Amino acid sequence: MSLRSRLSIATAAGLLAAAAAATPVAADDGWDPMGGNGNNQHDPSGGNGDHHDPRLARGVVTAGTLALRSAPNRGSQIIRFAHKGDVVSIFCKWEGESVQGNPTWYLLTDGTWAWGSARFIDTIGHKPRRC
């Protein structure tokens, strides 16, 4: 095996380990990040169905379509998409791959755990905590 192949494998393993360390482990601690009754239905409009958890920050997507990913970098798997104007719940922030000069990524909790570049999410109210 060439040195280049070994270096590529070591780099990929390091990135995977870093992503795993930054992503919270699923646990049944009684906390529903959706702020509801555990059925993962969320009304981001702020209507009667919105029971936002105060431990989460909120943000609005500014990109036309934003790919939400499995790790805080553009090479990771796309989990789902968010669209311009969507209100998202932000669990925490982390430094990852820089996107148009902004290295901050937010870990979102809306139905699935996924990372979105802070370059395309404007926060509402209080700022997210570090992961």
**Residue 120 lies inside a defined structural domain of this protein:** yes
Which of 29, 40, 116 minimizes the C-alpha distance to 78? 116
User: How many independent structural domains does the chain possess?
Assistant: 1
**Residue 17 lies inside a defined structural domain of this protein:** no
In the chain (131 residues long), the average pLDDT of successive 10-residue segments reads 51 48 40 40 39 83 97 96 96 96 95 95 94 93
Burial state string for 105-121 with b = 16 or more CB within 10 A and e = fewer than 16:
bbbbbbeebbbbbbbbb
**Residue 104 lies inside a defined structural domain of this protein:** yes
Assign residue 72 the CATH number of its domain.
2.30.30.40
**Residue 26 lies inside a defined structural domain of this protein:** no
User: HEC profile for 24-88?
Assistant: CCCCCCCCCCCCCCCCCCCCCCCCCCCCCCCCCEEEEECCCEEEEECCCCCCCCEEEEEECCCEE
The pLDDT score that the predictor gives to residue 40 is: 37
In whole angstroms, how far apart are CA 8 and each of 1, 2, 3, 4, 71? 11, 10, 9, 6, 18
The residues, any chain, with a CB within 8 Å of residue 109's CB and separated by 6 or more, are 33, 34, 56, 89, 90, 91
The pLDDT score that the predictor gives to residue 103 is: 97
DSSP assignment letter at 118: G
**Residue 30 lies inside a defined structural domain of this protein:** no
- Determine the structural domain holding residue 85 and report its residue range: 53-131
**Residue 71 lies inside a defined structural domain of this protein:** yes
**Residue 23 lies inside a defined structural domain of this protein:** no
**Residue 7 lies inside a defined structural domain of this protein:** no
The token pair that represents 62 in the structure block: 């500014």
Q: CA angle, corner 111, sides to 110 and 115, nearest 5?
A: 55
The pLDDT score that the predictor gives to residue 79 is: 96
